[in-house]
């Protein structure tokens, strides 16, 4: 059995080891390539301050690249008896290179190793989330433009209210994603600060060059105060989970609308038969399971910030093992949200809309406000016009014009999709993902 990095002469009881390690080996596989990148930056800095020879740095970098490639190819494993990814990487280096492999841990702790791993992993996942949201956004805008003249009822209190359009409906969710990405951007900026060099949370007596590792890893800046760097564990995951929950909220509402509008009672949209499921007893059923599952998964994601808060909110400063469990709810959330975004993008592209909804007489009264406004335009006071139209509806004598003339920004006749798109693109460009891509590529070529 492999010896722990911290183990002396007493081996830990097997039951205690199993309980304390938990799911770390499984979850650390998500962090593996980022652990390698963090180690490459760290040892480059160690050579710069004289704690490694240039020849030692060269062979360490070469071997770390081999491990990185192994991870990318899916061949990396954390062996039985090895606690975590940090231990596995150091073990592999030591087996291959001997004593020089043991030198990579100078000036750091597993505390700041996992901190930097989580930050590198999280910013990578957030990049993928943003790119996936882009696909959904442009599909919503496309559908909004395609159906901008197709009217549908708007509702308040689930009562028919005023005329709306599919252009407005699709476009509303597109603009909602703009605000969601502002939330993601704030989380990304908090994430993109370097904790490496904080060690166990109190710094090091080695003259570490934290500015160098910050640059090498493409961070915007560092977590300057080493105690705060450690306090950021848990806080990072909580803040990011709030951003993920914001996107999930938009998707959940969209899914609820789609389930409602797909029902025979509404009949506003139709999903392709191959995108629905059936019943084991009712041969006519075509169920919108995709949207139901999106709704439920996204509602679960909206509970993630509360889960994380309950794990971390009564911890004092410093490291505690409680933080290990945050990974178990945090890491899987990205894959779950991404699957919802991808399937929502696909199903929205495939759905069909009913272009003749308002031909049904039951929707006639939604034109009441249009009629009131027409009378006001002719000089009748608003309250008198309101009463006149209301009485006509009550007496069954309401025959409004069905023509609409909405021209102000954001209305049926002026969706402002071009402005919404520009706003979205501005938010996406402000992430500056290229800075990170360039830094990581340069590190792997070093």
Active site residues: 157, 279
The conformational region for residue 307 under phi > 0 = left, psi -120 to 50 = alpha, else beta, is: alpha
Q: Which two tokens stand for residue 391?
A: 């009485």
Could you tell me the end-to-end alpha-carbon distance of the chain, in angstroms, rounded to an integer? Answer: 34
Could you please report the per-residue DSSP string of 57-123? HHHHHHHHHHHHHHHHTT-----TT--SHHHHHHHHHHHHHGGGGGGGGTT--HHHHHHHHHHHHHH
Radius of gyration of the chain (CA): 28
In our burial notation (b when 16+ CB lie closer than 10 A, e otherwise), range 286-306 reads bebebbeebbebbbbbbebbe
What CA–CA distance (Å, rounded) separates 338 from 336? Answer: 6
Q: What angle do CA 141, 164, 406 make, to 5 degrees?
A: 90
In our burial notation (b when 16+ CB lie closer than 10 A, e otherwise), range 22-60 reads eebbebbbbbbbbbbbbbbbbbbbbbeeebbeeebbeeb
């Amino acid at each position: 059995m492999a010896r722990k990095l911290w183990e002396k002469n007493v081996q830990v009881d097997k039951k205690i080891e199993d309980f304390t390690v938990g799911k770390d080996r499984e979850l650390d596989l998500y962090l593996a390539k980022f652990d390698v990148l963090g180690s490459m930056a760290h040892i480059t800095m160690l050579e710069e301050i004289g704690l490694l020879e240039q020849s030692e740095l060269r062979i360490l970098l070469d071997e770390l690249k081999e491990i990185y490639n192994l991870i990318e190819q899916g061949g990396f494993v954390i062996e039985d008896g090895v606690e975590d990814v940090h231990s596995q990487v150091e073990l592999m280096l030591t087996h291959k290179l001997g004593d020089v492999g043991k030198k990579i841990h100078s000036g750091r702790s597993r505390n700041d190793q996992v901190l930097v791993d989580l930050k590198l992993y999280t910013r990578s996942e957030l990049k993928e989330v943003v790119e996936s949201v882009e696909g959904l956004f442009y599909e919503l805008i496309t559908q909004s433009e395609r159906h901008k003249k197709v009217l549908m009822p708007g509702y308040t209190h689930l009562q028919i209210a005023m005329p709306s359009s599919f252009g407005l409906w699709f476009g509303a969710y597109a603009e909602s994603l703009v605000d969601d990405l502002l939330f993601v951007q704030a989380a990304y900026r908090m994430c993109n600060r370097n904790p490496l060099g904080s060690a166990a949370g109190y710094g090091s007596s080695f003259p570490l060059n934290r500015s160098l590792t910050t640059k090498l890893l493409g961070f915007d800046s560092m977590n300057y105060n080493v105690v705060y760097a450690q306090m950021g564990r848990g806080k990072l995951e909580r803040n990011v989970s709030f951003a993920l929950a914001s996107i999930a909220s938009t998707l959940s509402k969209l899914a609820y609308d789609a389930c409602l509008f797909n029902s025979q009672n509404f009949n506003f949209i139709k999903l392709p038969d191959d995108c629905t499921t059936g019943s084991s007893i009712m041969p006519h059923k075509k169920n919108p399971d995709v949207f139901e599952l999106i709704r439920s998964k996204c509602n679960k994601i909206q509970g993630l910030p509360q889960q994380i808060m309950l794990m971390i909110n009564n911890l004092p400063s410093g490291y505690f093992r409680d933080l290990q469990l945050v990974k178990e709810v945090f890491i899987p959330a990205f894959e779950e949200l991404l699957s919802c975004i991808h399937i929502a993008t696909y199903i929205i592209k495939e759905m069909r809309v009913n272009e003749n909804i308002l031909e049904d007489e039951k929707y006639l009264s939604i034109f009441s406000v249009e009629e009131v406004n027409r009378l006001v335009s002719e000089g009748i006071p608003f309250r008198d016009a309101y009463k006149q139209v209301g009485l006509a509806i009550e007496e069954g004598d309401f025959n409004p014009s069905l023509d609409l003339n909405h021209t102000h920004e954001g209305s049926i006749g002026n969706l402002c999709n071009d402005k919404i798109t520009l706003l979205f693109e501005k938010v996406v460009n402000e992430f500056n993902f290229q800075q990170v891509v360039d830094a990581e590529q340069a590190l792997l070529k070093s």
